Chain A
Amino acid sequence: MPRVRVEVDGATYEDDVEPRLLLVHYLRERLGKVGTPVGCDTSNCGACTVLLDGMSVKSCSVLTVQADGCDVTTIEGLGSPGGQSPPATGRSVPAGSHPLQRAFHEEHALQCGYCTPGMIMASLDLLRENPDPSEEEVRAGLEGNLCRCTGYQNIVRAVRRAAREMRELAERVVTP
């Protein structure tokens, strides 16, 4: 069995894996990172989106052996749990949540929540390339992620809200 070494959410793992083991199954079943769900299983829905070396991928379409030597970020690697963040108006957002996580909560960008991890990871990828996307650009950037509950309106709103906050945070870092 091939041996892989992957960095996931800041920790390094070395494991022997079957070549056919999908990355999403490795994350969930070996590493216990069940924040990344399996959605459609046919590369359509984007629920299992993670970042692989900084770029969004559908982890049901990547073999674990293909991720050997790579850096993986899942929804569980976002924010700084226990860290500081501006107090949210909502009551149940944990301190240290990522601006995207907060914005999805505040804008009511989820109902059942199944697509949310993938939506947030795809949004993160979008904002890396385009820190100030228009509504159209958000919709295009998230075209690979399906939500069956919300009708997308609040998701688009949340991504633009998070983008605004992330730009402000970045400016604060540059000019303290």
Chain B
Amino acid sequence: MIPATFDYTRPASVDDAVRALSDAGEDAKLLAGGQSLMPLLRLRLAFPDALIDLGRVDALREIRDEGDTLLVGAMATHHQVIRDPLVRAHLPLLARAAETVADPAVRHRGTFGGSLVHADPAGDLPAVALALDAVFLVRSVRGEREIRASEFFVDWMTSAMEPDELLVGVRMPKLGSGWGVHYEKFHRTAQAWAIVGVACAVRRDGDVVEDARVALTNMGPVPVRAGGVENAVRGRPVSEGTFRSAAEHATEGTEPPSDLHGSAEYRSHLATVLTARALTACTA
């Protein structure tokens, strides 16, 4: 279908973009890579009065080394993130998960920030941001603020951002040395969304698990940090037994949906199995 009509603006700077967003009112949408928004426009599930195209705000594409943290610009494409030497060196979990997003053509256009703000519970990157203790930098004409990942995803496809706010970038602490990472994604067909996904990072000290980060995709309306799993592996020997019993905690605090891809019970089972696999892969 053809999208409904809208006003179109293409600001060249972040300042111009937030001003345009503020001027356009609540029925405006920011256009990032468009890989989620364009299908919604075409199906007329979304019909904003105005589109503000961020495609020419080059500053938003930057990936910057800040010392202990990396700042990934909201408009960095998945393709860019996957290949970025800083991301690969310091946040390999992000690169690994971004490789599994959709397909190459979508990864060329789709952006890191766009997929976070879209807050689709089946999206892969919200769980990664949660596992990596990301901080979201947002800006509006009213000023700047930071939102922690644990507070950013508030409900199904709903973030803590206000309608006049723009995501500028995401700050994530570098993982440091000794971490193994893995994103375990279960889907039935190529390019499909995750039925369940597990973002996982494990730091080992010899044969002992020193630290772990685990977060789940599509096990509720928002990504879930699996704190029970993390606690259950810390200080334990690296072994299949450790990971299997720790993975039993994966469903704690989850509210998995039932839909045509699987029942809640099936998803709970998957979360347990995939968490054990992800922990194992991180220490292989």
**A positions within 8 Å CB-CB of B:** 2, 18-20, 22, 25, 41-44, 46, 49, 52, 55-58, 60-63, 65-66, 122, 125-126, 139-141, 143-145
Contact of B105 among A25, A42, A57 (CB under 8 A): A57
In the complex, are the beta carbons of B51 and A144 less than 8 A apart? no
Q: Are B8 and A65 in contact, CB atoms less than 8 angstroms apart? A: yes
Chain A residues with CB under 8 A of B108: 52, 55-57
Partner of A125, one of B4, B7, B104: B104
Supplied contacts A19-B8, A52-B108, A62-B109, 17 more A-B pairs, CB within 8 Å? A18-B5, A19-B7, A20-B3, A20-B5, A22-B42, A42-B43, A55-B79, A56-B104, A61-B38, A61-B39, A61-B106, A62-B38, A63-B53, A65-B53, A66-B53, A125-B105, A143-B191
| Residues on the A chain within 8 Å of B42, using CB | 22, 41-42, 60
Residues of A within 8 A of B2 (CB): 20, 22, 25
* B:87-104 near A, CB below 8 Å: 102-104
Distance of A139 Cα from B2 Cα, bound (Å): 31
What residues of chain B have their CB less than 8 Å away from a CB belonging to chain A?
1-8, 10, 31, 34-35, 38-39, 41-43, 51, 53, 55, 79, 102-106, 108-109, 190-191
A140 to B8, CA, bound (A): 35
Which residues on the B side are within 8 Å of A145 (C-beta)? 103
Q: Are B6 and A144 in contact (CB under 8 A)?
A: no
- With a CB–CB cut-off of 8 A, which chain A residues contact B10? 65
With a cutoff of 8 Å between Cβ atoms, the chain A residues found around residue B191 in the complex are 44, 143-144
Instruction: Tell me which residues across on chain B come within 8 A of A65, comparing CB atoms.
Output: 8, 10, 53
Q: A55-B79, A61-B35 are in contact. Are A66 and B55 (CB under 8 A)?
A: yes
Q: Inside 8 A of A25's CB, which chain B residues have their CB?
A: 2
Residues of A within 8 A of B31 (CB): 63, 66
Q: Separation in Å of the B6 CB from the closest CB of chain A?
A: 6
Given contacts A63-B34, A65-B53, contact A58 B43 (CB under 8 A): no
A31 to B220, CA, bound (A): 46
Q: Is the CB of A46 within 8 A of B4?
A: no
Q: Which of A2, A43, A56, A139 has the most CB of B within 10 A?
A: A43
CA distance A52 to B105 in the complex (A): 10
Q: How far is the CA of A63 from the CA of B108 in the complex (A)?
A: 15
Nearest-neighbour CB distance to chain B for A143, whole angstroms, equals 4
Complex Cα distance A56/B106, Å?
8
CB contact under 8 A between A56 and B105, given known A20-B5, A65-B10? yes
Q: Which residues of B contact A42 (CB under 8 A)?
A: 39, 42-43
Of B8, B79, B103, which one neighbours A144 at CB under 8 angstroms? B103
- A41 and B34 CA atoms in complex are apart in Å by 14
B38: chain A residues within 8 A (beta carbon): 22, 43, 60-63
Question: Contacting B103 at CB < 8 Å: which of A2, A22, A46, A60?
Answer: A46
Q: CB-CB < 8 A to A18: which residues of B?
A: 5
Which residues of A sit under 8 angstroms from B3, Cβ to Cβ?
A: 20, 22
- 9 A-B pairs with C-beta separation under 8 A: A19-B6, A43-B38, A46-B105, A58-B106, A61-B38, A62-B109, A63-B38, A125-B105, A144-B103
Q: Which residues of A contact B104 (CB under 8 A)?
A: 56, 122, 125-126, 141, 143-144
